[in-house]
Amino acid sequence: MAATRGSAFTTNKKNMEVESVSTQSTTLLSRMKKAVVWVVSILTVVIALKTAMHWELSGAWFAARSFLSSGWAALYRVSGENDVYMQLVIFPIVTNVVFVLVNSFFAFLDLTGRPAFLVKYKIQEAKALPVNWQTYKKTIVRSALNSTVTSAVFQLTVYPLFVLRGTASGYELPSFRTVVANLFVCMVAVEIFFFYSHWLFHYPPLYKMVHKTHHEWIAPVGIASIYCHPLEHCFVNLLPVAAGPLITGAHMSVSLLWFSLVIISTTINHSGYHFPFLPSSESHDFHHAKFNQCYGVFGILDRLHNTDLKFRASKAYTRHTILLGLKPANQLYPDKKDT
């Protein structure tokens, strides 16, 4: 009997040792994976910068620069070469045109459910299409007010700061390296300013008074990207985007490019669709569905502060990638109940 107990104890001890070694191996493997991700990310940035510098010397960039110069020159002539008019009139007109054009596509899809073959890319499949018109109309009205009135108040407020910073203007466009460097700083700034301001607005009193409006959309739509309280639009949407150009003193043309890219990106992030060859919107869709996850833009600060733990443990994280084929993410990586 004693021998049997001793044998059992020895067996259990060995099992515990095996489990301990297995756990340590898993932890080590996890750390190695993270290290590889960071190394690959850094190498990617370095290679991208080297490629960018090479591209600047190639004929392709000169051709693109010529095309962009023509477009910018046309806008600058329309402004009468007046920087104030350019910044406060032409700039908002162009960005609003971009907003309307991008959201028109998603609006048609949301309100009609057509073309039907695109519906399969909807992330939250349980949410019925077409979207309720009365809810959508309410969102259009508030978003329109934010994109015009609220944005105008913000621009008038921060314009003196851009003047003090010495924002570049004129017909001559900056070099390609300068554009790349400016956009890199803009991306870093938007990740920092958006993450912390967004996280702050989830503080219960601020959430109840301000941010709750934006979270009325549990399964978001494109136009809901600026469906929010005016204070939130200024401090969470606009300020983080304006921070980069203000820090760098970027040429007005670069600022216009940056704002246009952000409008397209945030519309996709709120669209509720994960289309092939476009940036994944799984992260921000998860934020709307679960409320307290994924506050940032690129996920860097979420990883640092562990505000994406539930997301990383979910199937949505596996799907959070650019689709390089036509098969929907939820079919490539189905939920367990579907397998």
CA distance 207 to 213: 9
**Percent residues over pLDDT 90 in the chain:** 58
CA angle (264, 234, 131) in 5-degree steps = 50
Q: Hey, CA dihedral for 219, 224, 230, 236, is it positive or negative?
A: positive
User: Are 305 and 194 found together in one domain?
Assistant: yes
CA distance 130 to 111: 5
Tens digit of each residue's pLDDT (9 = 90 or more) over 218-269: 989 999 999 999 999 999 999 999 999 999 999 999 999 999 999 999 999 9
Q: What is the pTM of this model?
A: 0.81
Where in the sequence is the domain holding 319, given as residue range(s)?
66-338
Q: Quick one: pLDDT at residue 140?
A: 96
User: Are 73 and 217 found together in one domain?
Assistant: yes
Nearest to residue 182, comparing CAs of 252, 278, 111?
A: 252
Q: Quick one: pLDDT at residue 187?
A: 95
Q: Quick one: pLDDT at residue 18?
A: 40
Helix (H) or strand (E) holding 123: none
Q: Is the pLDDT reported for residue 13 higher than 70?
A: no
User: Are 50 and 112 found together in one domain?
Assistant: no
User: Are 40 and 97 found together in one domain?
Assistant: no
User: Are 10 and 92 found together in one domain?
Assistant: no
For the chain, how far is it from start to end, CA to CA, in angstroms?
47
Please give the mean pLDDT across all residues of the chain. 84
User: Are 48 and 73 found together in one domain?
Assistant: no
CA distance 225 to 318: 24
**Percent residues over pLDDT 70 in the chain:** 79
The arithmetic mean of pLDDT across residues 289-296, rounded, is 92
The two counts, helices (H) then strands (E), for the chain are: 16, 0
In the chain, the number of structural domains is 2
User: Are 125 and 48 found together in one domain?
Assistant: no
User: Are 24 and 78 found together in one domain?
Assistant: no
User: Are 106 and 2 found together in one domain?
Assistant: no
User: Are 90 and 237 found together in one domain?
Assistant: yes
User: Are 84 and 43 found together in one domain?
Assistant: no
User: Are 15 and 155 found together in one domain?
Assistant: no
Tens digit of each residue's pLDDT (9 = 90 or more) over 88-143: 999 999 999 999 999 999 999 999 888 888 989 999 865 567 888 999 999 999 99
DSSP secondary structure of 5-54: HHHHHHHHHHHHHHHHHHHHHHHHHHHHHHHHHHHHHHHHHHHHHHHHHH
